[in-house]
Chain A
């Protein structure tokens, strides 16, 4: 593996040169509003550079190992995979719709067309437009809104029930909605999300119309082992109309140990009374992963999010949900399994910014080997967000002498009629429980295995969709077995 080493101070220059190279190639392909958005994002990223541990949100995670490597997007790639190869990786088998990305680029041959869709993916042959592999329909636009302003997502014109497309196609066909949402769900001062905006080349875009049940959708991001250090910046957008339902699985997985830096961003907008079950899984051994997920929730919307990290040299997910409408609720579940030299970081933020909003958060970390699990969970009750009900629980299990768990549950409360609490614990397996199992004839390893799996169960069992739950259970069990076999 050849790795070009950069002077750390030139990390910004490196990404700026990637930006310039891309901008030159993109001339004419992207609308001016997007070019402006990218330029502004690049400028903001250049001003700060990669986040440093001085930044409290990055207190536990240093990108010092990312900065000196010249990660670059893949060139033309030939994908030697077919849909059969995907089966063991899928977290939502039997999903109505699936988009698959290989090293950050849409791989049309591995995608699954939604049968509900009147437009979007699956119609027409892949064309060489955009990023080169986007399955753009051959010219026609069945909805006839191309280039015409629309009323925004609050009152969209008559649309098909479910629209799912790759980034390039979405920009071309639904520019107004894209312009309305892109970057608008993110908070300020998020350098890795700015880097994504500047360099994003592909991603999934999902629009679900009012009142529609979209069923399961899986977004699969595969990283293959490559000779060059690989950079990808997938940009996803999920918009659920009023009263609609969907289950979305965002699955980041590496085949083997890859030398990659993935910087994905997912923006999610939930209309009034919309319900989303969102699950993000990352398992990319050897890779760097700095994901940002930002949600805006409307009145009485319900979000259930599962954030699972099963391994990675450095895998960080920063998840934020903004309860902007009265009566909204969010349930977050996190599970991190860190072994070997894994560094897993889950940073969550819940903003209660309207009357009578509710949140529940449960995060569990299991750390062994030389692994490190870091959790930071902020609950912010804004002024006027009365009748907020928030609870955050974090439990950490340390299984080896060299493991480390860090946790930071933060409450910021600027209203008085609230019910807020949090709790955090760190410890090892209960000696008495181990003894109990061993007294019943189990050997030490079996007893450990059972108790460790039981620790993770609370999170795994909370996945509502039975198919997804079974897939999660299998993946987590497999990973736990691997971890427990590692030398301690």
Chain B
């Protein structure tokens, strides 16, 4: 068996989470207009200010043009063909707050996400978002003891409107960009988290996003606020069924770190990537941004992007507080016909702000993988420091790896460094491993994992294991 075949064998596993949950849906008809937005707002029992906020975003969105600068290609999206709200129907006799539909529980069990507070991952609190709504949030009581608020976005709007109103849109404004404006208009749910001052969150918080219904989009919004001196580690996971049609996922994540607060946000993104011929898959057009508001605060993004037909995502840090720190660690993998245009923005505003960017791209098959990043140092950000490193690994001669770093410096005392390199898994490397008795598929997996090691080290343990497995699966057929 030659090395190509062995890697093929390694990569021949199917998308694991591609099943559909048979469940009744409460969905609004497809189409996007003010009536639909009013309907969504009404279904969620929102206050008037939030509806007004949505409508303003929608009116602005209508004046905007879909961006074309990203290195991704897809047919035009018909925004009128999408269903903007779909929620699993509650079984007769259950009321809000009662036990979760067993069908949903089974779904999450199958995905390895325990919604009962007992399982192996007992150290992780989960907010489970199913299509347009949050279906469960675990460990709420345990967290409440510490004063931590962790709930679905809708619940936060009901129970903590003052916090939501104060922070919503303060990092990613409703007119920030095309997809963020769309999200602001139609977002249906998401997670909300507030860590009070000086509290160190006792467990990992996480949101698990699941798209189930066909022909819907998922538009969720996550808002995490770490007040003075607090700390939190947050995980995000996502999957969707295998379908021939593309589905749109346009989320917004806002992080706010006050003085000396720390937020660590980790994502393992495994949306359905489409089949080997590039049919189907999720369009993952996401705006994620964190603001280090206070001095000595720290935001760290870690992402492993293996899924989605198209990824358009730039988790960013606005370093406003003096001595604040931004970090971005990323592994992005594209295989078959996947396209990823992902990277980060580090905006240095405060003095002595520091940022690190470590981006690893792996392209295989006909995948197109782009790193796009911006490092901006404003005037007055004295002593700002950035180090960026982007590495690409090419597997096969039909894929593409691209690097688009933008560096803009207006402060002479800043130091900015950027490096990028490209390499491939060579026959010689494989041969070297095989000569030492390592099976070819193991050798490839070893080389890929070695390439990504620095990023995996940043992930929480359970996610690191998951990420390693995912890379193995996603690369099936890559060498051949």
Contact = CB atoms under 8 A, between A and B. Distances in A.
B397 A416 contact: yes
A422 B410 CA distance: 22
Contacts of B431: none
Contact of A398 (B401, B402, B409): B409
Nearest to B416: A426
Contact of B420 (A56, A411, A414): A411
Interface residues of A, number: 37
A386 B198 CA distance: 56
A410 interface: yes
Contacts of A402: 379
B414 A383 contact: no
Contacts, number: 109
B124 interface: no
Contacts of A424: 405, 407, 416-418
Contact of B418 (A398, A406, A420, A423): A423
* Contact size range, B: 20 to 34
A9 interface: no
B398 to A, nearest CB: 7
Nearest to A405: B409
B412 interface: yes
Interface string A91-111: 000000000000000000000
Interface stretch (B32-40, B227-235, B388-396, B445-453): B388-396
A28 B52 CA distance: 67
A407 B375 CA distance: 10
B80 to A, nearest CB: 26
Contacts of B404: 408, 410
B67 to A, nearest CB: 10
A410 B69 CA distance: 14
Nearest to B420: A422
Given A404-B408, A427-B416, A413 B392 contact: yes
A401 B394 CA distance: 41
Contacts of B395: 416
B399 interface: yes
A411 B69 contact: no
B419 A414 contact: no
Interface in A367-412: 383-384, 386, 396, 398-412
Contacts of B418: 407, 409, 422-425
A428 B411 CA distance: 9
A419 B394 CA distance: 11
A411 B402 CA distance: 5
B64 to A, nearest CB: 14
Q: Which of A383, A396, A402, A424 has most B Cβ within 10 Å?
A: A424
A154 B417 CA distance: 45
Q: Which of A409, A413, A418 has most B Cβ within 10 Å?
A: A413
A415 interface: yes
A418 B401 CA distance: 11
Contact of A422 (B400, B401, B419, B424): B419
Contact of B413 (A384, A409, A419, A428): A428
Contact of B407 (A383, A400, A406, A415): A406
Interface of A: 56, 59, 383-384, 386, 396, 398-428
14 contacts: A398-B409, A405-B408, A406-B407, A407-B418, A413-B400, A416-B396, A417-B397, A420-B421, A421-B419, A422-B418, A422-B419, A423-B419, A424-B407, A427-B414
Interface of B: 69, 377, 379, 392, 394-422, 424
Given A414-B399, A422-B418, 17 more contacts: A383-B397, A400-B412, A403-B412, A405-B409, A406-B408, A407-B406, A411-B402, A413-B401, A413-B402, A413-B422, A421-B420, A425-B415, A426-B377, A426-B407, A426-B409, A427-B415, A428-B412
Which 6 residue pairs are nearest across A and B when measured between Cβ atoms? A398-B412, A416-B394, A411-B403, A426-B416, A421-B421, A426-B409
